[in-house]
Structure 1
Amino acid sequence: MGENYNDKKIAVVGAGGVGGYMAAMLAANYPQVSLVARGERRKAIDEKGIILHSDYHGEVAARPMQVVESAAELTPQDYIFICVKNYSLEDVCATLGSCVNDGTVIVPVMNGADPGERVRALVPAGLVVDSLIYIVAFAGEDYSIIHQGGFADIRIGIQNASKEEAEKVQETYELLLGAGIDCKKAEDIEREIWRKYILNCAYNVETAYYMNTIGELRSDSVKAEEYESLVQEAYLVAKAKGIHVTQEHVEAIIHRFYFELAEDATSSLQRDIRDGKRAELETFGGYLVREAKRLGIEVPVSERMYEELKRRQQF
């Protein structure tokens, strides 16, 4: 399957955990992969390539065709995977003018409920394919990528896709499978995105609020109850937005909290706030609270935790 895509120009914007994983897998299988990375990270990849230490795939070492500081340096691409933090998305989109044409497929592989919507508003050309990824991956001190766990599962789709859009989704699916990336097509991609987002509105926000591991949260009955409340509040917002999530989805998220997540699990929001870095608080907390207010939904636990975390983030 992969050889059919060897003539495709593919760009990955961002070389953190997710972007580094995507770039390593794509560059190991396709010859025309460009990577956008900055500063010391770019220098390291230029010198050694992308090194992926994966519990799932083993050791992967790949050299992109080129590593550039900005997407503005690229010629038109067939596929662009945007793998950056949400607060960088507007800046990234402003650099895409030279590398996007009407035939370009743009796939934001990011946290949150609305990155695809935002890209569509900011980039007039090309076609946006929505996605989400379930993965535990992060960059090490040497900028190699550590991928933990036996899974890396990306879902892609376009809500209510036309025939032409469905064909582009199919081609993107084949491209990813050809790179050895586990991928599923989702007919209701909004529902899949919100299933992950509801989980993250509880998982990221409460681990950051208490600076606790998942094990510490679920061993405290008050904190565990608050976790359930965060899940239910996000679910109510999703339902009010017309997303086709169900109470069964909520129960599965809560079951995962009690029985599936590792005792020592932490979140990216928690780690970034702890380390004094800029964090995706507006993605996991602010967006939900603002949407709830717009829709007239009461989300008291989400609001309390978001406001306190926002206060701590003021430098």
Structure 2
Amino acid sequence: MKVLIVGTGGVGGYFGGRMAKAGHDVTFIARGAHKKAMEENGLEVKSINGDFSLDKVTVTDTISEAATPDLVIISVKAWQVKDIAMQLKDVISDHTLVLPLQNGVLASDELKEELPEKNVLAGLCRIISKIDSPGKINHLAVDPVIVFGECDNSKTDRVLELEKVFYDSGFKGQVPKDIQAALWKKFISICVSAWLAITRSTYGEVREQKETRQVMRDLFDEVALLANKKGVNIESDFVDKTMAFIDTFPPDSTSSLTRDVWEGKPSELEYQNGTVVKLADEIGLDVPVNRFIYYSLILMEKRARKQ
């Protein structure tokens, strides 16, 4: 399978690396020192599931230079999706699958604004990983999985075949009964990232302090209620499961949004807590915890985008 990885960070580097190791024809989109290191030394992946390396990889910083792929995995930041969609227009064929793995619930819709609906899947991933240094990926926690499907939840041959490709590449692929519910379930859990940023704390610190743990719980309750109000099927005990899931994270771990805010970089704030506020306002739902968190960081976000 010809695979194009758009965004070779912790997510794209890991999943693309596994697929290349399994023998697929993978092209990585990377830039700067990361691209140079991959050109010279290949890709090295440190993982809780076993380290591996690729002595030689195909890497470019220009999407238009890539051969027409069978599969595009988009693993850039959420705010970059619209621009990526425009760049993919001249690269994909009628049969190319475009799979976004962004945090949030808007990526597939944004892709379909520029690309044919038949090309676009819906998806998410679960993994805690990052670039340790140029050309080196570190998978720190969580058993990696890509959850994906047709946007209308039809179980087509192409998604079932892709599920097998992922398993054969050394990580889990999962086609759920309801991909929209799956997207919202992850969305609920990631919205705590901005709370970590505000408190300048790790998952372990936030979950162990009674007061900050309660704010985390209230935040999750708001997003779960919003999902249900929008007709998404979120089980009544899902917030309890989310709290239990976060309790399994390494105590010193954080999220990409958290680190971006701390480092003064543009973050996915608008696509996480900002989206909660926007969608809640559309239906007249009060989400005070998410609104406070969003408003507390919005000026920092604006400054980061002016740099």
**TM-score with structure 1 setting the length:** 0.91
Cα contact 1:134–1:151 (8 A) shared by 2: yes
- Cα deviation for residue 63 of structure 1 reads 2.9
Note the residue ranges of structure 2 that are not aligned, 5 or more in a row: none
Q: How many residues align?
A: 303
Percent identical residues = 28
Correspondent of 2:23 among 16, 30, 43: 30
> Where does residue 148 of structure 2 map in the other structure?
156
1:119 aligns with 2:111: yes
- Cα deviation for residue 61 of structure 1 reads 2.3
> Where does residue 13 of structure 2 map in the other structure?
20
Correspondent of 2:74 among 82, 103, 106: 82
What is the Cα-based RMSD across aligned positions, in Å?
1.7
Structure 1 residues 224 and 68: alpha-carbon distance in aligned structure 2, compared to 1, 3 A threshold: same
> Where does residue 247 of structure 1 map in the other structure?
236
Structure 1 residues 123 and 160: alpha-carbon distance in aligned structure 2, compared to 1, 3 A threshold: closer
- Cα deviation for residue 162 of structure 1 reads 4.2
1:209 aligns with 2:198: yes
Runs ≥4 residues deviating over 3 A? 159-163
Write the distance in 2 (CA, Å) between the matches of 1:81 and 1:143: 19
Write the distance in 2 (CA, Å) between the matches of 1:27 and 1:256: 30
- Cα deviation for residue 121 of structure 1 reads 1.8
Amino acid in structure 1 at the alignment position of 2:275: Y
Cα contact 1:199–1:253 (8 A) shared by 2: yes
> Where does residue 163 of structure 2 map in the other structure?
173
Where does 1:51-70 land on structure 2 (aligned, <5 Å)?
Answer: 51-61=44-54, 63-64=56-57, 66-70=58-62
- Cα deviation for residue 75 of structure 1 reads 3.1
Write the distance in 2 (CA, Å) between the matches of 1:113 and 1:30: 32
Structure 1 residues 30 and 271: alpha-carbon distance in aligned structure 2, compared to 1, 3 A threshold: same
Write the distance in 1 (CA, Å) between the matches of 2:162 and 2:189: 26
> Where does residue 133 of structure 1 map in the other structure?
125
Amino acid in structure 2 at the alignment position of 1:182: K
- Cα deviation for residue 178 of structure 1 reads 2.1
- Cα deviation for residue 312 of structure 1 reads 2.3
**TM-score with structure 2 setting the length:** 0.93
> Where does residue 5 of structure 1 map in the other structure?
none
> Where does residue 222 of structure 2 map in the other structure?
233
Give the 3-state SS of the residue equivalent to 1:266 in structure 2. Answer: coil
> Where does residue 299 of structure 1 map in the other structure?
287
Write the distance in 1 (CA, Å) between the matches of 2:13 and 2:290: 32
Cα contact 2:121–2:151 (8 A) shared by 1: no
Cα contact 1:34–1:68 (8 A) shared by 2: yes
- Cα deviation for residue 159 of structure 1 reads 4.0
> Where does residue 194 of structure 1 map in the other structure?
184
Cα contact 2:21–2:169 (8 A) shared by 1: yes
Structure 1 residues 87 and 160: alpha-carbon distance in aligned structure 2, compared to 1, 3 A threshold: closer
Cα contact 1:10–1:32 (8 A) shared by 2: yes
1:46 aligns with 2:32: no
Cα contact 1:23–1:50 (8 A) shared by 2: no
Correspondent of 2:173 among 165, 175, 183: 183
1:275 aligns with 2:267: no
Cα contact 1:54–1:147 (8 A) shared by 2: yes
